[in-house]
Amino acid sequence: MNDAERERLERARRAPLGGVVDDTPITVGGRTYRRLMIKTHVVLAGEDLAEVVARYANPHLAAGDIVFVSEKAAAAAQGRAIPVETIRPRPLARFLASRVKRVPYGFGLGRPETMEMAIREAGAARILFAAAVHAVTRLFGRSGDFYRIAGRRVASIDGPTAWAQPPFDRCVTLAPLHTDETCEAIVRRLRLPAGAAIVDVNDIGSEVLGASRDVDRALVRAALRDNPLGQGPFQTPIGLLRADDRVVSGST
């Protein structure tokens, strides 16, 4: 964790639940947007995500905002954060994991437990085919074929990492399901007309896993490209994306 992340973590610790921890600008397509990051409690299995998001977002919401929610919070509410000690990798998972190149920002599928969950999500045949294609195409300098074939649900798997917010530091977190429907449910709970998106962002990219109608997914991806949600235990899984020329109503 660098100095900027430590400073942000300290701000997050001092902030009350429901407070805005960060309010940062970004320019997309020649227009400036604000990203307001909101501190919440740790979302756990069985919670009504739409209710949780509305509770924390409504006090800061302006008409036309896009509420974005981390895929980890969405997955957790659906019970898709699996304690690593409960996962029993099959021999195939151990074999494939041992062949995965380790990366500096986490385990990826280089851990038997995460590879096991990839096999459960996509099926053994698809994972084997993805691995075979990757083994060939990487010889020609291509990258990313494994995840293109294995699919978004495999690409979104997060393994346990020491810097994650507990209890996710001990869990394999899978991609949330029914994300478009979840976003529509969130929109219905908001007090003003707004959009919603569930996003998978990290230090190497951003993706929109689901969104409500009329949300510009390309805009959301571009506006979150620098990962304002952060990679640490900041407890800010909810944010607001707002065009900077809008009147701020009720925000801090």
Q: What is the spatial distance between Cα 22 and Cα 61, in angstroms, rounded to a whole number? A: 15
| Phi/psi at 246 (5° precision) | -80, 150
Q: What is the pLDDT of residue 247?
A: 43
Q: Which two tokens stand for residue 186?
A: 């969130």
Residue ending a domain, among 173, 193, 211, is: 173
Residue ending a domain, among 173, 206, 225, is: 173
- Rounded to two decimals, the pTM is 0.88
Residues 85 and 169 in one domain: yes
Structural contact between residues 195 and 66, judged by C-beta atoms closer than 8 angstroms: yes
- Whether 1 maps to a domain, the answer reads no
Residues 102 and 150 in one domain: yes
Parts of the chain with a pLDDT under 50: 105, 247-252
- Whether 182 maps to a domain, the answer reads yes
Residue ending a domain, among 119, 142, 173, is: 173
Q: What is the pLDDT of residue 232?
A: 66
CA angle 202, 10, 170 (to 5 degrees): 50
Q: What is the pLDDT of residues 120-150, one digit of tens each?
A: 999 999 999 999 999 999 999 898 899 999 9
Q: What is the pLDDT of residue 107?
A: 56
Count of domains forming the chain: 2
Residues forming beta bridges with residue 26, ordered by sequence position: 33
Residues 202 and 150 in one domain: no
Nearest to 67 by CA among 177, 188, 156, 174: 188
Q: What is the spatial distance between Cα 168 and Cα 213, in angstroms, rounded to a whole number? A: 30
Cα distances (Å, whole numbers) of residue 182 to 37, 73, 109, 155: 20, 12, 27, 20
**Residues spanned by the domain of 226:** 18-80+176-243
